[in-house]
Amino acid sequence: MTSRQLRKSPNNKFNMYPDSVYHLQEEEELHPKMLAAARKSGQLNLSNRGLVVVPEKVWTIMEPTEEEVKKQSAGPSIHGAQEDAWWDYQELTKLILACNKISLIPDKISNLVSLTVLDLHDNQLETLPEAIGNLSSLTKLNLSHNKLKAVPEGVFCLKELRNLSLNNNSIESIGEKISELNMLVSLDISNNQITSLHSNIGFLTQVSSIIASKNQLENLPKEMDFLRGLQTLDLCSNKLKTIELKDLGNLELLYLRHNQLTRLPKLTSCINIKELQLGNNFIQVICEEELESIKNIKIIDLRENKLTSLPQNIDVLSQLERLDVSRNDLTNLPFTMGLMPLLKSVQVDGNPMKSIRRDIIARGTVGLLKYLRSRLDENTLTELQSEGRGATSPLPPPSTPPLPDKFTMGTSKTMMLAGKDLTEIPETTVQEASDAGVNAINASKNQFTNLPDTLKIVLPKIADLDFSHNKIMELPSWISIADKLLYINLSNNKLTSLPTEIGQCKQLKEIDMSYNCLTEIPPGLFQCPAIETIRVASNRVDKIPVEELKPLSMLAILDIQNNAISQVPPELGNLTQLRSLLLEGNLFRVPRPNILTQGTQAILAYLRDRIPK
């Protein structure tokens, strides 16, 4: 690849710059070709150009330059129509100013109201103007690798923001206003000076990824348990001594390397946890009970801790594929490890092994597991196999996972039934759940064709009900007894309607009916005054009932993507309380895709403009 030719600046202000860089720095102008390309594509990339200030024309990119005004005044060219007609212009939706030396962003940034992506990473910014809060369509903001000491106030006004990167700054606190960004899906605050997370982080119910590594965190707020959508949590390189997380049923990846943990984290009802990174801590012992809550784990990293032994029941981790316990104080390994059918990698280097010869360890994982299994006597092996342990098949040994007991449900306040291939729920289990005071039921990924009648015992106490990924065709009318119900997930079923009695669930805040066979938004929902989220994506809904939706003053999220809607009523624009309106994948032609990509506020404004005067 040929490098760009360098030239000297005519004064001492600059040293050596590429021609294009020098041009931008000296004159603060955009090249006409770059300006034309940005207007046509709606995207402008000025990254890695040595900019100290942003060219002034960026803030008025849609306005004609003096030269363009002169051409327009001169009339049409003899060569034909103008090449760049104004009706071909696209509003700027993506602006990249990364990897420069910019220290100031002016208030004029508020002119770019259609921006959905703003990338300012790797600059010299110490703050941002409050005017950035006017970018109502912004969904992605990258402020990493700057000099921020606090989150700019204007950022908290970005109601459509999905991705926020603040890593590698000098931020000391996130603050209570983080709750205003309740549409966030991804939050990166790593490499800062944050000592604690505000309890309001619990309002980020849509977030799936939080990266908070390399900070000064000593504990976590209990409100972390409200992050129901959280899948990835990275807390490496902090000062955490204990971790307790509950009811994070979607959590899959938990990274806790380089902390001060002395015990395994308590992960009550985190049934989908797949990877647990605990290297470089001070863990000395693992109790047998601590393994019960992570039975579906696939990867565990415990290298460089203080372990002197592993629990004998380690084989209950029947899904475990990789285990790293290198550089600990282990002198032996439990023979039951030889019964783990999916285990492909065991790292034990750097331990003072006394009972296992080096040549056996040198044989690798297969040889080591074979040796451990050979050390089990026949009686012990027979006993373990009778308990469903010690399967030689690569499939998990239990054919029907056990139902939760009263003690487990009393601790977690959840009847956890997910992924157990159930078609009914025993009355004894439901009665125990009622006695234990459970307030949530997770029965997703089963074979239910309806809600079991046995649930009538406990349903009046339930706030969170999850029957997603089943085969339910009809919801019973007695759902009305669930008068404390706040959240219900019925996605991925075969529902064609909901009973009108759902309207008696007056406290209902969120309902997910995505991936069913609905032909309309169930009318019963219009009687739920507290409803904030309605999701009916990927159904057969053919119209938007605006008049019925109007009274729902709390409605903030309406997801009707991938349906059969042929017309969007302009009156929908009057539902100004909506923070997220998802319409993509339907049959209508108006609004056009370029409007839909600008975000909810732009869509609503467009629709209001189409209402007949």
What CATH number is given to the structural domain containing 165?
A: 3.80.10.10
Residues 428 and 546 in one domain: no
CA distances from 138 to 115, 233, 595, 609 (A): 6, 24, 13, 21
> What is the arithmetic mean of pLDDT over 498-520?
94
Residues 412 and 458 in one domain: yes
113 HSE (CA, 13 A, CB side): 8
- pLDDT recorded at residue 13: 37
The contacts of residue 267 (CB under 8 Å, 6+ apart) are: 245, 248, 251, 254, 273, 293, 294
Note down the domain range covering 575.
472-484+494-613
Nearest CA-CA partner of 465 in 481, 224, 473: 481
- pLDDT value at 388 more than 70: no
Q: In the numeric block, which tokens belong to residue 398?
A: 């239990």
For residue range 309-363, list pLDDT tens digits in order.
999 889 899 899 999 999 999 999 998 898 888 999 999 999 999 888 888 888 8
For residue range 75-88, list pLDDT tens digits in order.
555 444 445 555 56
The distance of Cα 586 from the centroid of its chain, to the nearest Å, equals: 25
DSSP state of 265: P
Run of H or E residues at 268: strand 266-268
The answer to whether position 367 is within a domain reads: no
- pLDDT recorded at residue 25: 44
For residue range 444-471, list pLDDT tens digits in order.
999 999 999 999 999 999 999 999 999 9
Nearest CA-CA partner of 30 in 68, 58, 72: 58
Tokens 């000099």 belong to 147
Domain boundary (171, 187, 215) is at 171
Domain boundary (131, 150, 171) is at 171
> What is the arithmetic mean of pLDDT over 187-213?
94
> What is the arithmetic mean of pLDDT over 538-566?
93
The answer to whether position 208 is within a domain reads: no
Higher pLDDT: 550 or 75? It is 550
As a whole number, the mean pLDDT across the chain is 87
Dihedral angle over CA of 129, 130, 134, 136, nearest 10: 100
For residue range 156-165, list pLDDT tens digits in order.
999 999 999 9
For residue range 29-68, list pLDDT tens digits in order.
778 888 888 888 889 999 999 999 999 989 988 877 666 6
The answer to whether position 182 is within a domain reads: no
- pLDDT recorded at residue 23: 41
Residues 43 and 94 in one domain: yes
Residues 103 and 166 in one domain: yes
Residues 159 and 104 in one domain: yes
- pLDDT recorded at residue 208: 94
- pLDDT recorded at residue 14: 37
- pLDDT value at 477 more than 60: yes
For residue range 107-116, list pLDDT tens digits in order.
999 999 999 9
**pLDDT band (50, 70, 90) for residue 389:** low
SS3 category, 83:
coil
- pLDDT recorded at residue 475: 94
- pLDDT recorded at residue 326: 95
- pLDDT value at 121 more than 60: yes
The answer to whether position 516 is within a domain reads: yes
Residues 461 and 479 in one domain: no
Nearest CA-CA partner of 467 in 481, 480, 455, 484: 455
> What is the arithmetic mean of pLDDT over 285-306?
91
- Least confident piece of the model among 25-39, 242-256, 383-397, 598-612: 383-397
Residues 151 and 29 in one domain: yes
Residues 457 and 476 in one domain: no
> What is the arithmetic mean of pLDDT over 576-599?
89
Tokens 């393994």 belong to 291
Residues 528 and 572 in one domain: yes
The contacts of residue 370 (CB under 8 Å, 6+ apart) are: 338
With beta carbons less than 8 A apart as the criterion, state whether 438 and 455 touch. Answer: no
- pLDDT recorded at residue 21: 42
For residue range 521-530, list pLDDT tens digits in order.
999 999 999 9
Residues 560, 564, 566, CA angle at the centre, nearest 5°? Answer: 100
The answer to whether position 426 is within a domain reads: yes
With beta carbons less than 8 A apart as the criterion, state whether 496 and 473 touch. Answer: yes
pTM score of the predicted model: 0.66
Residues 432 and 516 in one domain: no
- pLDDT recorded at residue 514: 93
Residues 33 and 157 in one domain: yes
Dihedral angle over CA of 361, 367, 370, 376, nearest 10: -20
**pLDDT band (50, 70, 90) for residue 22:** very low
Domain boundary (123, 143, 171) is at 171
> What is the arithmetic mean of pLDDT over 401-419?
80
Residues 579 and 504 in one domain: yes
Distance in angstroms between the alpha carbons of the first and the last residue of the chain? 59
- pLDDT value at 101 more than 90: yes
The answer to whether position 96 is within a domain reads: yes
- pLDDT recorded at residue 373: 87
- pLDDT recorded at residue 84: 55
Higher pLDDT: 25 or 119? It is 119
Which amino acid is it at 200?
Answer: N
CA-CA distance, 596 to 208, in Å (whole number)?
Answer: 23
> What is the arithmetic mean of pLDDT over 602-612?
91
CA-CA distance, 333 to 321, in Å (whole number)?
Answer: 17
The answer to whether position 594 is within a domain reads: yes
User: Which ranges of 203-293 would DSSP assign to H, the alpha helix?
Assistant: 288-292
193 HSE (CA, 13 A, CB side): 9
The answer to whether position 141 is within a domain reads: yes
Q: In the numeric block, which tokens belong to residue 348?
A: 């034990």
With beta carbons less than 8 A apart as the criterion, state whether 331 and 310 touch. Answer: no
Whether the bond into 591 is cis, omega within 30 of 0: yes
Structurally, the chain folds into a number of domains equal to 3
